[in-house]
Amino acid sequence: MSDVVAGGAKSMEELVSLCKRRGFIFPASEIYGGLNGFWDYGPLGAQLKKNLADRWWRDMTLTPPVRDGKPVSIVGVDSSIIQNPRVWEASGHVGGFSDPMVDCKESKQRYRADKIFLVGFFSLDQAKELYASLEDAVALLEKAPDASLEERAEIQRLFQTWRAEYSQRAANLGLPAIIVSEQGDSAEEAVAAAQRRLSKRQLKHLGVNFTPPGWAHPLVSAPEKWPRLSPATQTESLTAPRDFNLMFQTYVGATASEDDKAYLRPETAQGIFLNFANIVDTTRVRVPFGIAQIGKAFRNEVTPRNFIFRSREFEQMEMEFFCHKDEARGWLDFWVEERRRWWMGVGLSEANMIVRKHDDDELAHYAKAGAGTYDIEYRWPFTHPGFGELEGVAHRGNFDLSQHEQHSGKKIAYFDQERNERYLPDVIEPAAGLTRGVLALLCEAFTPDESRASKVVMKFHPSMAPIKAAVYPLVNKDGMPEVGEKLVGDLRRRFGHLGLIEYDAKQSIGKRYARMDEAGCPVCFTIDGQTLEDQTVTCRDRDTLAQERISLDRVVDWLGEKIGG
């Protein structure tokens, strides 16, 4: 895989442009000017997404992981996107799934209130003292890719201490946020100085966010103290913050009255809880076991951004693992490590991932009662050198099942024959974004290379590559196309369920190779004059650019060894 850590961040702008140019991802309804937060997947993007989803489904339900020598028991479901609206009252989403939002009355811009800065100043001495310890933390964070588990824990501890200290100092000053000024300089200079030193992610660890430049705030809230100064107009024109529910609403049936209101699911998880009793009753699964689901989720995000990282329509791969509460801690640790390794198996480098435990005040409403939530974070180009969430692994306690039992009035409790005990199992939930995972694969694969005609090569793990191989007759005549078409047929029969086999007999061979470098195709087979004489083809390796000749009748097995399957 590409070495992302050395050097600076990759360019998101170039990645987005490649995705469009090569047909990975397009803005949705582009010819009408697009729609913020919505994306369409082109031929290569759709196949890449399918490869990732298929691998997850396989590794969860068909060949699940093994613990203590035994395969873990997991079954799959595919539930409805629209459910009875009472589901979302029970799950807490109607009441609690919201972001604080403010509007600028003049510019009509809308902001997440927790993204608006209030700037406070420390004296130079205080600032020096703060920065001195901060540097220790930053030095450690820079080491994070190679850090041992103990060192990672230390990094986390340092940041937690920092966060608490910042919040306390802010509270003492009566401010909902602070920015450290090094020389008592202007707010802009203070922000710029802090930004030079710290990535957004590091600042977030400290409880400070940066959006847009020049404005900041911590996660501590004191609504009456929220700033009114609008970043758009620089006048006091912001409304007070109010909660904005992220669920999309629709109406079921013809009358469109309040009684017919329904919601598009904001997570796939609830469809699993709703079917817990059905699955226990109709299959042979016994606690501990998991239910897995892949599907669309919808959130009316206030600020969709960073390409497909935070969109309003996206896909999730969620698994709810039901276990006895005494075993929940062990399963939580098991799944955190299992999921981290899984992402490495699809090509993310270890150095670009970090496991972070949530602070208590970050926990979602359902995770409060549990033993904690961990995020598996990736080093995105827009968080570099810091990290941002790729997947959450939460201990949800028995919050959801007990809520559904109460709200529906139906008995859901499970009878454990071995323990001779009836209970609502605890839940460990590895919840990954499928579309966010696609973005991670794209970011990891993106490798600028000035020496190539394409200037960039997408180094996908061969098992994820949307195009598995390309077959290229050197010229579109002299019997070469016939050999090529036969080879394509053979390869599609064997590998067609894993990805695309490209065939193209036109254009210069250099241009065709460049196209495949940008598409991330691991190997190109070229048929030339020599093929007709000795039945051999050239195999061009995407990563090493090495070219070797092998005989035509070995091509299928050769590719099988390279890409698996």
Site of interaction with ligand GAP (CB under 6 A): 267, 269, 299, 301, 310-311, 314, 316, 318, 389-392, 429, 431-433, 435-436
DSSP 8-state code for residue 543: T
Helix (H) or strand (E) holding 224: none
DSSP characters over 488-502: HHHHHHHHTTTSEEE
Question: Which residue, 262 or 390, has its beta carbon nearer to ligand GAP?
Answer: 390
Contact 451, 462 (CB under 8 A): no
Residue 281 exposed, middle or buried by CB count within 10 Å (0-12, 13-18, 19+): exposed
Cβ neighbours for 398, distance < 8 A, ≥ 6 positions apart:
325, 423, 424, 425, 426, 427
Minimum gap (Å) between residue 10 Cβ and ligand GAP:
19
Question: Which residue, 35 or 509, has its beta carbon nearer to ligand GAP?
Answer: 35
Minimum gap (Å) between residue 443 Cβ and ligand GAP:
14
CA torsion 430-435-441-445 (nearest 10°) is -170
Supply angle C-alpha 561, 562, 565, rounded to 5. 60
Cβ neighbours for 426, distance < 8 A, ≥ 6 positions apart:
322, 323, 324, 325, 327, 328, 370, 395, 396, 397, 398
Minimum gap (Å) between residue 304 Cβ and ligand GAP:
7
Minimum gap (Å) between residue 434 Cβ and ligand GAP:
8
Minimum gap (Å) between residue 391 Cβ and ligand GAP:
5
Strands (E), 358-413: 373-378, 388-397
Dihedral sign from CA coordinates of 241, 243, 246, 250: negative
Question: Which residue, 435 or 447, has its beta carbon nearer to ligand GAP?
Answer: 435
Question: Which residue, 314 or 472, has its beta carbon nearer to ligand GAP?
Answer: 314
Question: Which residue, 142 or 301, has its beta carbon nearer to ligand GAP?
Answer: 301
| 414 strand-pairing partners | 423
Question: Which residue, 269 or 280, has its beta carbon nearer to ligand GAP?
Answer: 269
DSSP characters over 457-524: EE---TTT-SEEEEEEESSS-TTHHHHHHHHHHHHHHHHTTTSEEEE---S-HHHHHHHHHHHT-SEE
Minimum gap (Å) between residue 432 Cβ and ligand GAP:
6
Question: Which residue, 290 or 392, has its beta carbon nearer to ligand GAP?
Answer: 392
- Which residue matches tokens 């895989």? 1
Minimum gap (Å) between residue 383 Cβ and ligand GAP:
14
DSSP 8-state code for residue 310: B
Minimum gap (Å) between residue 516 Cβ and ligand GAP:
29
Helix (H) or strand (E) holding 103: strand 98-103
Minimum gap (Å) between residue 363 Cβ and ligand GAP:
11
Question: Which residue, 299 or 459, has its beta carbon nearer to ligand GAP?
Answer: 299
Question: Which residue, 232 or 246, has its beta carbon nearer to ligand GAP?
Answer: 246
DSSP 8-state code for residue 276: H
- The CB-nearest residue to ligand GAP is 433
